[in-house]
Each structure stands twice: as structure tokens, then as C-alpha cells.
């Protein structure tokens, strides 16, 4: 029987401001998943957080886009919202954009990454959780993991990886997708995924086995709502070892603090800092953006874990680099390239200011 790992996440309220998750909200998530395991809906479940976002890791045999699993996630976020409202947490229920659940969580606000697979004799999986950044944040790390031999030596010297991987790229403006193969089409692939805001990577598939190795959430809150409501704060699932990159190859891209969109008011570029769970509380200029990695050794659908994979001094240099890059970018204040280009900012006063000053413009001589 194939198994499915569903990671569904939402910001249902922050403590303090947008910086972190209140323990009682996390408890509400844990309780809901324990009940879902007892009822037989899930094989196993784990609730975790990164910054102000609640991530539900759910293992089951019901396939992707299952209505009952999605309803469980929606109801859990509702329960978290009630706790957030009781405690007057900030932005209670902020990512729940529709009044009622209507069969699928997609388009309702929360982000989702789901992966169906036949469990191997040993199934190591890493779930990534990000905060204060947007859905294309996994483009560069996924490219490094699955296509860059300077990151993943397995592409060169390990037989099962040598045929490369196929990348499913989404065009979120035109609502369409394309699959491009690495290594033969990497120059074409990079034309698109180098622009992660429009072309987020959804899925990576082994060209040897056809098995999915990685999947990320590509839900874009601002497109769903038609206005700014918060950053997407994406999730990803990556299967490791054997036909896929090794755990160390999957984590290696995060030894550099890549520049991503997000940070204060979702309107800035900033470095993505890999952190242990205890440090996933972005509070300097509402950032810098954070990423956590929790590892599971799945056994008959049971989540053996989590292991806090960035709780490792070998990521200290990336964290120091993130602080240096944040210091440097912050000096630009409201100037680009720290501030995002006009049409990518989530907050703007431009229409109001432009309208107010319209009469003051004079033609150039
Ligand atoms: C970014 C984020 C925060 C808020 C900022 C202002 O994704 O969530 O940086 O944008 O704290 O929040 P409001 O407008 O809610 O006061
Ligand atoms: Mg928030
Ligand atoms: Mg968040």
C-alpha cells in the first residue's frame, strides 16, 4: 500500500507580534494529530513550528489531496485560531482566507506539500519549514541538491543518481506547469527557476525510477487573497539516500545563507538562516528569514523522529554569514535591492502617495 506524507502549514497567530508560536497553539496542533491517529485517519502525525507558522506533518495511506486529511488540517488550524483568539495573539487566523472548508485546502490559504511513495526498507525523509520568506525559496536549494554535482557528488559517482532528475516548474501567473530534465536541460531550467517569485519548483522526480524525491509548497497567499495577507512561509519534503541525494547532500545547500524574498513586511530581500528549532524565532527586523529541517526515519508509516538537523555547529558559518548579510542589507534601509522592486513588495503606499502628488509633477524641459 503506498503511503503519503502530507505537510500542511498555516500562520494562525503570532507570539509576540509575528515572531514565534505560542506553546498553547502548538499543543492544540499536537492534540488534534494525536486524536487523528487514535481515530485511524492518520498512521502518525507530528506538529512543529518555525517562527509564527504551524506545520502539521501527517503520515497516512489516503493519497494526496485527500478530503479527510485536508479537513483535519483545516479543523486543526481553526482550533489553533481559537487558542490564538483567546490569548489575543497577533494576527489570529491570518492565513485562513475562506469562511468554510470546501473539500481541499489548496486555495484556502494554508500551504501544502504532499508526497506519495512506496516505503523503502529504510526511508529517511527531511521536512523543511521556513518562515518570513516566500514559496520560491526552495528553487535554489533544490537545484543544488538534485542537479549540482559540486553540491551532490552522488550525481557523479553514484549509479542510481547518475541519470539525473526531472524538475516540475510552476508558472503561478499563467497557472500552468512544465517538466524539464537535468542535466540535459539545465540551461533552460535555470531561465525559469532563477526567477523563483514567478516560477517556483513544485516537484523533483528520479529519472531512473520515476519516484518523487522532493516536493515543496507553492501556494502564494497574495495571489489567493488578491492582496497582502502575509508571506507564504513554505514547506518542503525531501526523501534521502539510495536513489536520492544523501542526507548530507540534502542539507549541504544550506551552508550558504541564500538571499530570499521576505523579511520585514514581506517586502525585502534577506538571507535565509538555517537554524535549530530553538532558534526559529525571527525577531530582528522580523527576520532574518529562517529555515528548520526536521528529519524522520519512517518505519511502516510511523514517523521515527524528529531529529533537529540544523542543530549542528557545522551550520554556524552559514548563520554568521546570514548575520553579516543582514547587517549589510539593512544599511540600505528603504532602498533597493534590500527593499523589493515596486511590483513585488507586499506593502506599498505608492498608489496613495502618487495620487496625492499627481498635481506636483512637471514635464521635463
Ligand atoms: C512578514 C511579516 C511581518 C509583518 C510586520 C507588520 O511576513 O509577517 O514582517 O509584515 O510585522 O505586520 P502588521 O502589518 O500585521 O502590523
Ligand atoms: Mg504572522
Ligand atoms: Mg510566518
Taking only the tens of pLDDT, the chain with its 365 residues reads 899 999 999 999 999 999 999 999 999 999 999 999 999 999 999 999 999 999 999 999 999 999 999 999 999 999 999 999 999 999 999 999 998 999 999 989 999 999 999 999 999 999 999 999 999 999 999 999 999 999 999 999 999 999 999 999 999 999 999 999 999 999 999 999 999 999 999 999 999 999 999 999 998 888 887 776 778 999 999 999 999 999 999 999 999 999 999 999 999 999 999 999 999 999 999 999 999 999 999 999 999 999 999 999 999 999 999 999 999 999 999 999 999 998 888 788 888 999 999 999 999 98
Nearest listed ligand to the Cα of residue 131: 3
pLDDT of residue 344: 83
Bridge partners (DSSP) of residue 3 are: 117
Q: Which residue has the least CA distance to atom 2 on ligand 1?
A: 265
- Give 119's contacts (C-beta < 8 A, 6+ positions apart): 3, 298, 300, 301
Question: For 299, how many CA atoms within 13 A lie in the half-sphere containing its CB?
Answer: 4
- Ligand 1 centroid – CA 268 distance (Å): 12
Q: Ligand 1 atom closest to Cα of 14?
A: 8
pLDDT of residue 201: 97
- Give 306's contacts (C-beta < 8 A, 6+ positions apart): 46, 48, 57, 127, 294, 295, 296
Q: Ligand 1 atom closest to Cα of 264?
A: 9
Give the pocket of ligand 1 (CB within 6 Å).
17-18, 91, 132, 230-231, 262, 264-266, 286
CA distance 121 to 107: 36
Residue 318 has which C-alpha cell?
Answer: 552559514
CA distance 53 to 48: 9
CA dihedral 136, 91, 311, 284 (to 10 degrees): 90
How many CB atoms are closer than 10 A to CB 179?
A: 13
- Ligand 2 centroid – CA 53 distance (Å): 7
Q: Ligand 1 atom closest to Cα of 233?
A: 7
CA distance 318 to 15: 26
pLDDT of residue 343: 82
- Ligand 2 centroid – CA 17 distance (Å): 7
pLDDT of residue 3: 96
CA distance 117 to 119: 6
Q: Which residue has the least CA distance to atom 15 on ligand 1?
A: 91
pLDDT of residue 360: 97
pLDDT of residue 225: 79
Q: Which residue has the least CA distance to atom 5 on ligand 1?
A: 265
Q: Is residue 354 helix, strand or coil?
A: helix
* Strand bridging mode 176-182 / 165-171: antiparallel
Amino acid at each position: 500500500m503506498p503511503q503519503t506524507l502530507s505537510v500542511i502549514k498555516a500562520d494562525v497567530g503570532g507570539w509576540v507580534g509575528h515572531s514565534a508560536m505560542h506553546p498553547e497553539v502548538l499543543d492544540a496542533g499536537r492534540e488534534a494529530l494525536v486524536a487523528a491517529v487514535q481515530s485511524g485517519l492518520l498512521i502518525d502525525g507530528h506538529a512543529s513550528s518555525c517562527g509564527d507558522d504551524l506545520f502539521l506533518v501527517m503520515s497516512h495511506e489516503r493519497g494526496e489531496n485527500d478530503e479527510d486529511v485536508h479537513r483535519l488540517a483545516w479543523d486543526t488550524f481553526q482550533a489553533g485560531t481559537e487558542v490564538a483568539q483567546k490569548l489575543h495573539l497577533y494576527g489570529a487566523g491570518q492565513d485562513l482566507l475562506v469562511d468554510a472548508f470546501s473539500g481541499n485546502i489548496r486555495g484556502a490559504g494554508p500551504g501544502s506539500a504532499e508526497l506519495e511513495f512506496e516505503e523503502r526498507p529504510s526511508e529517511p525523509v527531511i521536512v523543511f519549514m521556513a518562515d518570513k520568506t516566500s514559496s520560491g525559496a526552495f528553487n535554489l536549494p533544490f537545484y543544488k541538491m538534485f542537479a549540482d554535482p559540486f553540491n551532490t557528488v552522488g550525481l557523479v559517482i553514484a549509479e542510481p543518481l547518475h541519470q539525473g532528475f526531472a524538475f516540475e516548474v510552476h508558472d503561478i501567473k499563467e497557472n500552468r506547469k512544465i517538466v524539464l530534465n537535468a542535466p540535459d536541460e539545465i540551461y533552460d531550467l535555470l531561465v525559469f527557476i532563477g526567477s523563483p517569485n514567478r516560477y517556483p519548483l513544485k516537484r523533483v522526480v528520479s529519472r531512473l525510477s520515476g519516484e518523487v524525491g522532493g516536493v515543496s509548497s507553492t501556494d502564494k497567499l497574495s495571489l489567493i487573497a488578491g492582496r497582502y495577507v502575509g508571506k507564504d512561509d513554505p514547506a518542503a519534503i525531501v526523501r534521502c539516500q539510495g536513489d536520492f541525494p544523501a542526507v548530507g547532500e540534502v542539507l549541504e545547500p544550506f551552508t550558504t545563507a541564500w538571499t530570499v524574498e521576505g523579511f520585514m513586511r514581506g517586502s525585502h530581500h534577506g538571507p535565509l538562516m538555517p537554524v535549530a528549532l530553538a532558534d526559529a524565532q525571527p525577531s530582528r527586523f522580523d527576520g532574518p528569514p529562517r529555515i528548520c529541517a526536521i528529519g524522520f526515519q519512517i518505519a511502516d508509516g510511523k514517523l521515527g523522529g524528529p531529529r533537529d538537523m540544523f542543530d549542528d555547529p557545522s551550520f554556524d558559518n552559514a548563520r554568521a554569514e546570514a548575520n553579516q548579510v543582514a547587517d549589510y542589507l539593512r544599511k540600505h534601509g528603504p532602498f533597493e535591492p534590500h527593499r523589493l522592486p515596486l511590483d513585488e513588495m507586499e506593502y506599498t503606499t505608492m498608489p496613495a502617495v502618487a495620487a496625492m502628488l499627481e498635481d506636483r509633477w512637471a514635464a521635463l524641459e
